[in-house]
Structure 1
Amino acid sequence: MQITFLGHAGFLIETQHALVVADPWLTPLGAFDSAWMQFPRNHELAPVVREKLENSPKERFLYISHEHKDHFDPDFLWSLMKRDFTVVLGRFRRTALHETFLAYGPRRVITCEDQQEVAFRGGYLKLYLTDSGTNRDSALLVQADGRSFLNLNDCKVHDRLPKLVAEEGPIDIFTAQFSGAIWHPTCYDYSREEYTEHSRQKRASKFEAVARAIETVQPRTYLASAGPACFLDPSLFHLNLEPVNIFPRAPELFSYLKSRLGSKAPRLLEPMPGDVIDAETGDFSWQVPERVTDENVAEYLRTYAEMQARVFRERPRNILLEEVDRIHLRLREELQNKLDAFSLSDRVTMPLYLGLTELPTQLLRVDFRTRRVEVVGEVRDLNRYMLLANAVDIGRVLERKLNWEDFLLSFRFRASRAPDVYDATLHNFLAAEVEDLRAMCDTTLAAEARKERTVVSTGTQRYTVNRFCPHQGADLKEGWIEEGRYLVCPRHRWRFDLEAGGVCATNGCSVKAEPQTKQEDKREAPAEQRPQA
C-alpha cells in the first residue's frame, strides 16, 4: 500500500488492485468563499489526481468524508470528464451531499452506515461516522495487502478507538486533525491577552487529543494532516503570522508529542503535497525538494499571497444601499424561518443580535423566548450574543452560494458574547440550515433521552454519571480524570466537575454526578484514570 499526500486532509491510497482518493482539495479558489487556502500549496497535483481517477486500470474509489469545502471540493471534482469510479460517502441525516453526488453521475454512489465495509480485491475500506447537531463527519480505514491506514481527518471518534483497534488489529499509518477549524476565538472581540489564552487552551486540548489517540492506536507512523490552512485574503492574512492562535503547524505538535509520549512516540512525519509513504516498508519519499520550514514560512506565505491576489481583487466589496436594505429584509425573514423550525428555542436564555456593518442602527434582535425577530437601534441587553458582518457576505448566504457554516468558517465577521460562555444550542441555531433545524433538534432530544449511567473513579472517590456526553453523545466510559475531580470527554475535551455535581463550567451542561457509597453496587468497571494532561 502506497499513500501519497495530496495536501491538507487529502490522500491517494494505492493498493495492488484498488485506488482510493480521499478528500482531494485542490482548487486554486480555496474554500469557504476563498477564505481558506491549502497550506502548503498543492494545486499542481490536480492533473495527477485527475489522471488517476479517470484512467487508472485499478478499481477506483472517491471518498468524501463530509461536506466542508476543505474536504469536498466541487470545483476540482466537476473538472473530471470521466466519472466511471465509485463514490463512497457516509449515510448522514442531512442528505445534501448524497444528492449532489447522485447528480454528479459516477459509476455508483455507496452511502455507508457506521462501520460498513466496502470490499475490493485484496482488501476493503470502512467508514466510522459521527452525526450529531451540525457535526456530520466520517473517518476512513483502508485495509489491504496486509497493511492498514486509519485517517480520522476531522472526525471525533476518539471514544471509539479502543474498540476499533481491538477489531481491526495493528494500524500502520495513522493521521488525525491537530489544528483548529472553528471561528472561536478567531472572530471574537477579545483583548490580546484573552485571545492568546483561549488559543493556548484550544491548541493544548487538540494536541492532547492526538497524543491520547496515538496511545490507543499505537501506529508505526503518524502523518501530520488536516493541519492548518492559510489565509491569503488581505483582511485575514495577519492570522498566519500571529505568535499564538489555533492554527499551529506540525513542528509544534511534534514537539508536544515527543515530550508527552517520550519513547512511546511513533515515527512522526510532516509530508509536503506529493510525498509518498510505503505502508509496508515505511519508506518515505520526498517528492518536493523545497520544504516549508520555520525559517522560510513567512516568505513562503507572502509569495503565495501574491500568486493568489487575483482571487481577492475579483471579490465584490461594495453594493448599493438599496441592495443592502434588500439583504437586511431577507436576513430578517431567514432568521424568523429558523426560529419557526427551532423547537429548542426555550433553552437559549439570551437574545442574539445580528447586524450589517452598513446599517449600524438597524440591528436584528432574535428573542428566543418569544420566537420573534425585531429591528432595534442599539444593543439593549446586558447578556447577549452578537454577530456583525458585511452585507455582501451575508448576501451570499441568502443566495445559497454559501451555507451558514461555510460563512462562519470564512471568518468574515466579528462576534462577542456576554457572558463569555459557549452555548451549543445557540451555536447549532446559527450554523444549521433552515431545512435541517427540525431534524437537528429531534436528534438532540433523542440523545438526551439516553439515561444509561456508568461509574467513574478519581482514585479516592467513585461517582455515578450519565454515560453519554450531553454535547454530542460521546461515551464517557472512554473519558479520563484530570486534577483528581474533572471527568474529561474524549471527543471535545469538555471537563465535568465531579465534585460540583458533574457540571461543565464552560457551558453549564451536566453529567449529573453523584458520589457512590460503599454499600452501592460497584459491579460496573470504572473509567480508567489516565495520566493528567
Structure 2
Amino acid sequence: MRITFLGHAGFAVETASSVVVMDPWLSERGAFDSAWMQLPRNHHLAPRVRALLETPGRDRFLYVSHEHKDHFDPEFLATLQRRDFTVVIPRFLRSELQDVFAKYGCKRVIACEDGREVPIKGGYIKLFVSEQGTNRDSAVMVRGDGQCFLNLNDCKLHDRLARIAEEEGPVDVFTAQFSGAIWHPTCYEYPQETYAAISLKKRESKFEAVSRALETLRPRAYLASAGPACFLDPTLFHLNLEKVNIFPNATQLFRFLDQRLPSANLKKLESMPGDVLDAGTLDYVSLDGERLTEERFEAYLRAYAADMAHLFRERRRNMLRAEVDEIHERLRVELQRKLDHLDLHARVGMPLYVELTELPRRLLRVDFQARRVDEVPSIHESTRYAMKVSAVDLVRVLDRKLTWEDFLLSFRLRLSRSPDVYEPILHGFLGVEIEDLRAFCEGVRSTESQRERTVVDAGGRRFTVQRFCPHQGADLSEGWVEEGRYLVCPRHRWRFDLEDGGRCPTNGSTLCAEHAPQPSAPSESEPEVPLQPAQEPLSL
C-alpha cells in the first residue's frame, strides 16, 4: 500500500488492484468563499490526482467525507473529464452529497451507512458515519496489501475507537485532525488574554484527543493532516501570525506527543503535498521538492498571499444604499423563516441581535420566546447574543452561494455573547439551513431521550451519571476523570463536575450525577464501565 499526501485532509491510497482518492481539496480558490487556503500549497497536484482517477487499469474510488468545502471540492471535481470511477460517500439525513453525485455522471455512487464495507480486491473500504446535531462527518478505513490505513479526518469518533480497534484489528497508519476548525473563539470579541486562554485550552484538548486515539489504536505511524489552513484575505491574514490561537502546526503537536507519550513506539510523520509513503516499511518512496519550515513560514505566507491577492480584489465591492436596504429586508425574512422552523425556540432565553455593518442603527432582534424578528436601533439587554457582518459577505448566503455553516467558517463576522455560555439551540439556529432545522430539533430530543446510566469512580468516590453526553450523545464510558471530579466527554472534551451534580460550566447542561454506595457488583440498570485514567494536562 502506498499513501500519497494530497494536502490538508487529502490522500490517495494505492493498493495492487485499487486506488482510493480521499477528500481532494485542490481548487486555487480555496474554501469558504476563499477564506481558507491550502497550507502548504497543493494546487500543482491537480493533474496527478486527475490521472489517478481517470487512468484505467485499476478499480478507482473517490471518497468524500462530508460537505465542508475543505474536503468536498466541487470546483476541482468538475475538471475531471473521464468519470468511470466509483464515488463512495456517507449517507446523511441531509442529502446534499447524494444529490450532487447523482448528477455527476460517474460510474456508480455508493452512499454508505455507518459500518458499511465496500469490497476491493484483497481488502475493503469501510466507512464510519457520525451525525449529531450540526455535525455530519465520516471516517474511512482502507485495508489491502496486508496493511491498514485509518483516516479519521475531522470525524469525532473518539468514543468509538476502542470498539473499532477491537473489531477491525491492527492499524498501520492513522491520521486525524489536530488543529481547530471552528469560529470560536476566532470570531468572538474577547480581550486578548481571554482569547489566548480559550485558544490554548482548545489546542491542548485537541492534542489530548489525538494522544488518546493513538493510545487506543496503537498504530505504527501517525500522519499529521487536517491541520491548519491559512488565511490570505487581508482582513484575516493576522490569524496566521497570532502567537496563540486554535491553529497549531504539526511541530507543536509532535512536541506535545513527545511529552505525553514518551515511550510510544510510534513514527510521527509530517508530510508535504506530493510525498508518497510505503505503508509497509513506513519509508517515503518519493518526496515533494518544496518543504515548508517554521523558519520561512511568514515569508512563504506573504508570497502566497501576493499570488492570490486577485481573489480578494474580485470579491470586494461598494454597495448602493438601496442594495443594502434590500439585503437587510431579505435577512429579516430569512431569520423569521428560520425561527418558524425552530421547534425548540422556547428554550433560548436570550435574544439574538444581527447587525449589518453598513446599517449600525437598524439591528434585527430575534426574540426566540415570542418567535418574531423586529428592527431596533440598539442592543438594550445585558443578556444577549450578537452578530455583526457586512452586507457584501452575507448576501452570498442569501443568494445560496454559501450555506450558513460555510459563512460562519469564513470567519468574516464578529460575535459576542453575555453571559459567555454556549447555547446549543441558538448555535443550531445560526448554523443550520432552514430545511434542516426541524431535523436538528429532532436530533436534540433524541439525544436527550437516552437515559441509560453508568457508574463512575472519581477521587475515591462513586457516582451514577447519565451515560450519554447531553451535547451530542457521545458515550461517556469512553471518557476520563480529571482532577478527581471532572468527567470529560471523549468527543468534544466537555467537562462535567461530578461534585456539582454533573453540571457542565460550558452551558449548564448536566449528567444528573448522584453519589452512589459501594456495591458488590454493578446492576444491570446501571452498568459499571471503567473509565480511562486521566492524564496531567500539559502547557505548550
User: TM-score, structure 2 length as denominator?
Assistant: 0.97
Q: Residue in 1 aligned with 2:150? A: 150
Taking the aligned partners of 1:306 and 1:362, their CA distance within structure 2 comes to 37
Deviates more, 1:517-526 or 1:141-150: 517-526
Aligned twin of 1:311 = 311
1:353 is the counterpart of 2:356: no
Compute the displacement of 1:2 (Å).
0.2
Check conservation: 2:220, 2:265, Cα contact below 8 A. no
Q: Distance in 2 between matches of 1:520 and 1:423?
A: 40
Please state how far the C-alpha of 1:51 moved relative to its aligned partner.
Answer: 1.1
- Alignment partner of 1:454: what SS? strand
Q: CA deviation at 1:265?
A: 5.2
- Name the CA distance, whole Å, in 2 between partners of 1:56 and 1:494: 48
1:4-33 per-residue CA deviation (whole Å, 9 max, x = no partner) reads: 000000000000101000000000000000
Contact 2:462-2:518 within 8 A present in 1 as well: no
| Equivalence for 2:258 | 258
Partner of 1:419: 419
Post-superposition offset of 1:133: 1.2
Q: In structure 1, what is the equivalent of residue 88 of structure 2? A: 88
Counterpart residue identity of residue 284, structure 2: F
Amino acid at match of 2:351: P
Aligned to 1:478: 478
* Counterpart code for 2:175: T
Q: Does 1:525 align with 2:535?
A: no
Q: Structure 1, residues 111-140: CA drift from partner, whole Å, max 9, x if none?
A: 000010000111101011111111000001
**Aligned partners of 2:196, 2:285: CA distance in 1, in Å?**
37
Cα deviations by residue, 1:275-302 (Å, 9 ceiling, x for unpaired):
0111111112452233111101011101
Correspondences of 1:91-106 after superposition (within 5 Å) = 91-106=91-106
- Distance in 1 (CA, whole Å) between partners of 2:521 and 2:264 is 37
Gap change, CA 1:519 and 1:527, over 3 Å in 2: closer
Q: Distance in 2 between matches of 1:174 and 1:448?
A: 33
CA distance in 2, matches of 1:64, 1:321: 41
Report the Cα distance in structure 1 between the residues aligned to 2:286 and 2:426, rounded to whole angstroms: 46
> Are the equivalent residues in 1 in contact too, given 2:20–2:62 (CA < 8 A)?
yes
Between the two proteins, the alignment pairs up a number of residues equal to 533
Instruction: Give the aligned residue type for 1:327.
Output: I
* Alignment partners' CA distance in 1, 2:264 and 2:424: 36
Contact 1:459 1:529 in 2 (8 A): no
1:188-230 alpha-carbon deviations (Å, 9 max, x no partner): 1111111111110110100000001100011100000000000
* Cα distance in structure 2, aligned partners of 1:180 and 1:451: 31
Match of 1:162 in 2: 162
Partner of 1:382 in structure 2?
382
Gaps of 5+ in 1: none
- Supply the distance in 1 between the matched residues of 2:315 and 2:263 (Cα, whole angstroms): 50
Cα drift, residue 506 of structure 1: 1.2
Pairwise CA distance, 1:529 = 4.3
Which AA in structure 1 matches 2:315? R
The DSSP-based 3-state class of the residue aligned with 2:101 is helix
Q: Could you tell me which residue of structure 1 aligns to residue 403 of structure 2? A: 403
Farther-moved stretch of structure 1 (30-39 vs 184-193): 184-193
Q: How does 1:112-261 map to 2 (within 5 A)?
A: 112-261=112-261
Q: Deviations over 1:461-500 (max 9, x none)?
A: 1111111101111000100000000000000000000010
CA distance in 1, matches of 2:121, 2:265: 33
What is aligned with 2:4?
Answer: 4
Q: CA RMSD in A?
A: 1.0
1:23 and 2:23 correspond: yes
Please tell me whether residue 326 in structure 1 is matched to residue 333 in structure 2: no
| Residue in 1 that maps onto 2:453 | 453
The residue that corresponds to 1:488 in the other structure is: 488
Query: What is the distance in 1 between the residues matched to 2:70 and 2:519?
Result: 53
Q: Secondary structure at the match of 2:205?
A: helix
Q: Which residue number in structure 1 is paired with residue 363 of structure 2?
A: 363
Residues of 2 paired with 1:317 and 1:232: CA distance? Answer: 18
Answer yes or no: is 1:507 the counterpart of 2:503.
no
Kept in 1: contact 2:364–2:376 (CA 8 A): yes
Q: d(CA) in 2 for partners of 1:439 and 1:378? A: 33
Query: Which region of structure 1 is more displaced relative to structure 2, 522-531 or 133-142?
Result: 522-531
Which amino acid is 1:101 matched to? F
1:521: Cα distance to partner? Answer: 5.7
Partner of 1:57, secondary structure, is: coil
Q: 1:370 to 1:42 in 2, by over 3 A?
A: same
Report how far residue 454 of structure 1 moved. Answer: 1.0
Task: Measure the CA separation in 1 of the matches of 2:472 and 2:251.
Answer: 31
Q: How many angstroms does 1:522 deviate by?
A: 2.4
Which residue does 2:62 correspond to in 1? 62
Query: Which residue is equivalent to 1:394?
Result: 394
Shift of 1:525: 2.8
Distance 1:521 1:149, change over 3 A: same
